[in-house]
Amino acid sequence: MFQAIKTLNYQFLFVFLCFLSVFPNQADPTPKQKDCSLLEPGVPSEYLLSRAIYEQIDGYQANNRKKTTEAKLGFENSVSFLDKYHACLKEKGQGPSAQSAEIQAQNYLELGYPGKAWEWSEIAKQNTKEVTKELVILQMRIRLREQDLTKATEVLERDLVSFPNDPDFLYLLGNLYFERKMWNQSLLYYTALSFVIERRDNHSKYKYITAKSLGELNYKLDYPKIAIKRYNEYNSVNKNDMEVLFRLAQIYFVLGDFKMSKFYLEQVREKNSRDIDASHMLAEIYFLEARDLAPQFFDTLKKEKKIPKDGIIPILYQLVNGRTIGLDEKLRNFIKANPGRLSPRVAFLELADNLNDPDYEQINAETAQYAYEYRQYGLAEKILKRGKQRLNSTQVEEKASYLEKIANCQEMLGQWNHAILSMKEAIVLSSDLEKKFRMRFRLAYLYLQGNLKKEKVSVDILSGTISENPNPTHYYLRGLSYFQLEKYKESIKDYTQAIEMDPTNPNFYFYRATAYDKLKQFPETESDLKKTISLNPNASNAMNYLGYLYAEKDMFPDEAKQLLTQAVTLEPDNPAYQDSLGWVYYRKKDYNLALLHLNFAASLALERGFEDPVIYEHLGDVYLAKKDPVNAVQFFKLSLSKDKQTSNKDLVSKIKRVEKEISE
């Protein structure tokens, strides 16, 4: 992959030139001229180039045979012949060719002189009409030899626009960013590679390693369901990868799906009977989720000699078997040493329940909080409901607190109606005014979630709360409710009130800008977006919004590009930002860069599980500008098929116009 040498052609050239030198033309009595002072009369300077290539080939072959001394000699000889060749060219008033400079760069790289290799690669680049993929990858290899991952990445990104759909480029970029632990950038390139594989090369050598990499990246970036999809794609071919099976178990554990977590852990145990980690994780799941089966599984581990002397497993084994003597101290010590572990806290709570510990309520609250933070919302809800049941009839305020927390768990589980009922009951029970205000705010927020579409109810709740306790966040949420009701003037009024009460909150300005935009009040929209960025230099949403508006209005193209480049730098895996940047390049008539970023946007949207008709229409517009009506109409039709509007007359008209152009 890293050699740009057509060995058969060069070997033929070398043999042919040697043939000419051995068998001169006897019929030509003309005295032969010297092509170069370093050569005999009649020998062309290209002879030196052919010898250099021949010696380099010997060097590579010796490397393959692991003959390092012979390899070094081959590359050194190649350098020597090239030095003579370049000296001959200099006598003629010529400089090194792109070909000879690239070969010299390869030699110096193999000899361990990356500095000289880089110098020659730059000469090759300056002397070529069109930079080749092999030359770019050679420069990347040189930077890697220098152990500079950042510069290696820059080499590839600088010329990516010339090779936007090249699997090698995309794979190398994804891999380099992964090594640099820059997960969002790595995800961008691996997603783009997956997009290319699916649409252009379904049998690519990168197909399954890309799926595995995307599984890991989506896991790291907290897209667990996408991670599962990608890992399963990889697992369909590589069924015995224990690392992936265990990772799938971990993801399902985090999602609270203990059934599927057990499914994969049992696969690990079946495929690798000596595995300890999967066995111990299974034991903790049985303890947390299936207590009636836990004793049996712990007994199995005992028979398999997989219950160690130390750690949480022997402690849980003791508890599930009803032997509680000394457990209190063991659990306290273990939790102190391992404060982030969930199962010992659940065990400690169970022990406190059994022993009627006077501190049970505090232990319950702490355990539920840890379960919530670990996204075990179902477990947290179960713990809180058990705590609420233990309260007596006089502990009304405590019941309200439990119900508020239960509502939060139900909200995270997507059980909006249950969460609303729990929160309403908590509000009725509580006599603490501050707590009531907080819970009313949360209730109003719940009515805006999911498919409830009860913005008016949210407005009513917030209006009552605001009349009693004016608060900037309450105005902000009511402004959001009005926005969803398409009452933009009322929305602006509330956001303005929130800003007057808290002028340093960038979110208030951003959302007021969105309302101004709906009313086509551009100066106010622009002003609020600029204010958002001034208050929060990392406000990528405001940068994207303002940059796209500038692009749409053909205003300040350089500033639009700067804003969107900064937004993409902050969130490279955001499809909306990539789409906006691509659109700016389209407006600047830089169609190749436009296609690069719009394809990034399309691939990222697919990875997130949706297809954006706007991105597809933008792709169609770029292809149309590039005088490629066939691809243009393909993307226009794709956009139309994904558009949820009842009709898009402009797009339909555009399709008809382009189809007519094709037919003519």
SS3 66: coil
Give pLDDT tens digits for 423-466.
999 999 999 999 999 999 999 999 998 788 899 999 999 999 99
CA distance 599 to 593: 10
Collect all residues with Cβ–Cβ distance below 8 Å to 529 and sequence separation of at least 6: 509, 510, 513, 542, 545, 546, 549
The model's confidence at residue 645, banded by pLDDT at 50, 70 and 90, is low
Residue 24 has pLDDT above 60, yes or no: no
Number of CB atoms found within 10 A of residue 230's CB: 26
- The two tokens of residue 180 are 């640099």
What is the rounded end-to-end Cα distance, in angstroms, of the chain? 43
Half-sphere exposure of 168 (CA within 13 A, CB side): 12
Rounded (10°) CA dihedral 252, 253, 256, 257: 50
Give pLDDT tens digits for 263-300.
999 999 999 988 899 999 999 999 998 888 999 999 99
Residue 12 has pLDDT above 60, yes or no: no
Contact 524, 549 (CB under 8 A): no
Collect all residues with Cβ–Cβ distance below 8 Å to 262 and sequence separation of at least 6: 249, 282, 285
Among the listed ranges 156-160, 198-202, 205-209, which one has the minimum average pLDDT value? Answer: 198-202
The reported pLDDT for the residue numbered 30 is 62
The reported pLDDT for the residue numbered 637 is 92
Contact 481, 515 (CB under 8 A): no
| Mean pLDDT value across residues 223-237 | 96
Percent of the chain scored above 90 by pLDDT? 84
Contact 594, 628 (CB under 8 A): no
CA distance 261 to 2: 43
Contact 177, 581 (CB under 8 A): no
Contact 294, 286 (CB under 8 A): yes
The reported pLDDT for the residue numbered 646 is 59
| Mean pLDDT value across residues 472-484 | 97
Residue 10 has pLDDT above 60, yes or no: no
The model's confidence at residue 664, banded by pLDDT at 50, 70 and 90, is confident
Radius of gyration (Cα) for the chain, nearest Å?
Answer: 34
Collect all residues with Cβ–Cβ distance below 8 Å to 631 and sequence separation of at least 6: 620, 623
Contact 53, 45 (CB under 8 A): no
CA distance 588 to 579: 14
Give pLDDT tens digits for 290-318.
888 999 999 999 999 999 999 999 999 99
CA angle 502, 505, 509 (to 5 degrees): 100
The reported pLDDT for the residue numbered 306 is 95
Among the listed ranges 363-367, 450-454, 575-579, 637-641, which one has the minimum average pLDDT value? Answer: 450-454
Residue 23 has pLDDT above 90, yes or no: no
Residues found in the chain: 664
Contact 543, 567 (CB under 8 A): yes
The reported pLDDT for the residue numbered 648 is 79
The reported pLDDT for the residue numbered 608 is 93
The model's confidence at residue 14, banded by pLDDT at 50, 70 and 90, is very low
Q: pTM of this prediction?
A: 0.87
Tell me the angle at which helices 133-145 and 98-110 cross, rounded to the nearest 10 degrees.
Answer: 30
Half-sphere exposure of 550 (CA within 13 A, CB side): 24
CA angle 593, 596, 597 (to 5 degrees): 95
Residue 19 has pLDDT above 60, yes or no: no
The reported pLDDT for the residue numbered 4 is 38
CA distance 421 to 457: 14
The reported pLDDT for the residue numbered 649 is 83
The model's confidence at residue 49, banded by pLDDT at 50, 70 and 90, is very high
SS3 263: helix
| Mean pLDDT value across residues 353-378 | 93
The reported pLDDT for the residue numbered 15 is 42
Percent of the chain scored above 70 by pLDDT? 95
Number of CB atoms found within 10 A of residue 185's CB: 20
Contacts 24+ apart (CB under 8 A), 152-160: 152/176, 153/177, 153/180, 159/131, 160/596
| Mean pLDDT value across residues 396-414 | 96
b/e per residue 430-465 (b: at least 16 CB within 10 A): beeeebbbbbbbbbbbbbbeeeeebbebbbebbeeb
The model's confidence at residue 197, banded by pLDDT at 50, 70 and 90, is very high
CA distance 160 to 163: 5
CA distance 73 to 368: 70
609 backbone φψ class: left, alpha, beta (φ>0; ψ -120 to 50): left
Contact 457, 481 (CB under 8 A): no
CA distance 237 to 528: 52
The reported pLDDT for the residue numbered 200 is 80
SS3 125: helix
| Short-list 126, 209, 138, CA closest to 167 | 209
The reported pLDDT for the residue numbered 451 is 81
CA distance 519 to 513: 10
Residue 1 has pLDDT above 60, yes or no: no
The model's confidence at residue 530, banded by pLDDT at 50, 70 and 90, is very high
Number of CB atoms found within 10 A of residue 112's CB: 11
| Short-list 274, 283, 212, CA closest to 241 | 212
- The two tokens of residue 515 are 């309302």
Give pLDDT tens digits for 321-350.
989 899 999 999 999 999 989 999 999 999
Q: Distances from the Cα of 183 to the Cαs of 52, 220, 546, 573, 576, in angstroms?
A: 43, 8, 26, 9, 18
If you average pLDDT over every residue of the chain, what do you get?
Answer: 92
